Amino acid sequence: MISIVLHPIVLPTIGVLFYFILIPNNFNSNQRLALLGLIFVTTYIVPLLILIFFKKFKLINSFEAESIQERKIPIALMIIIFYLFGNTLKDIPNLFDIGLLFYATALGLLLIYILFVFKIKTSIHLLSLGITSGFFFILNSLYNENLIIFVICTILLAGLLASSRLHLRAHKQNEVYLGFILGFFAPALVFYYL
């Protein structure tokens, strides 16, 4: 159940929702809803349609895209989508942080894609939650907000999610650890270099 609630295509919307709740900003409720709707369509509906299309044309056997081969094209498409979305948002006043979040996600997915060469099927679930944890950890220092409790909660959720992924035999231990670590450090790399 936790693998469904904290699915990678849901976490960007959840992360931005918490960004609006926890970080002081100048957005009115209509602007927040519009941005959340755009993010939901871009990071949930579009990937879902891609998976449905791939399943219909037998490019993947299941929606879980269990093998490395089945993951390659969907992840490549998501890298492009997240990069373009981040590139668009970072130039809009007040959306720089969210733009960097999408850059960090593109970077994390790119690292996962590179690991395919070594036949490592890193957990995208844990990558997503690691990115969320790392993003709010960075924001904690940038805005002098007390977000440590939120970060600790996301790390605890990551532990539950990792246990779930291991229980379902979707990944090995090193794949869930690697997913979280790559995710946690991706926002730091993006914030540091951009």
Predicted confidence (pLDDT) per residue in 19-43, tens digit: 999 998 888 889 999 999 999 999 9
What is the rounded distance in angstroms from the CA atom of residue 31 to the CA atom of residue 69? 39
Q: Which pLDDT belongs to residue 102?
A: 95
Give the pLDDT mean for 150-175: 91
Q: How far apart are CA 162 and CA 180, in angstroms?
A: 9
How much is the pTM? Answer: 0.92
**For residue 35, how many C-alpha atoms fall within 13 Å in the half-sphere facing its CB?**
23
State the pLDDT confidence band at 169, using cuts at 50, 70 and 90: confident
Residues 6 or more apart whose CB falls under 8 angstroms from that of 172 comprise 166
pLDDT for 61 = 81
CA contacts within 13 A on the Cβ side of 150: 19
pLDDT in tens, 43-102: 999 988 988 988 888 878 876 777 888 889 889 999 999 999 999 988 887 889 999 999
Give the helix ranges, DSSP H, for 41-172. Answer: 46-56, 68-89, 96-115, 124-143, 148-167
CB neighbour class for 174 (10 Å; exposed up to 12, middle 13-18, buried from 19): exposed
pLDDT bin (cut points 50, 70, 90) of residue 7 is confident
* Token pair of 122 as six digits: 């890193």
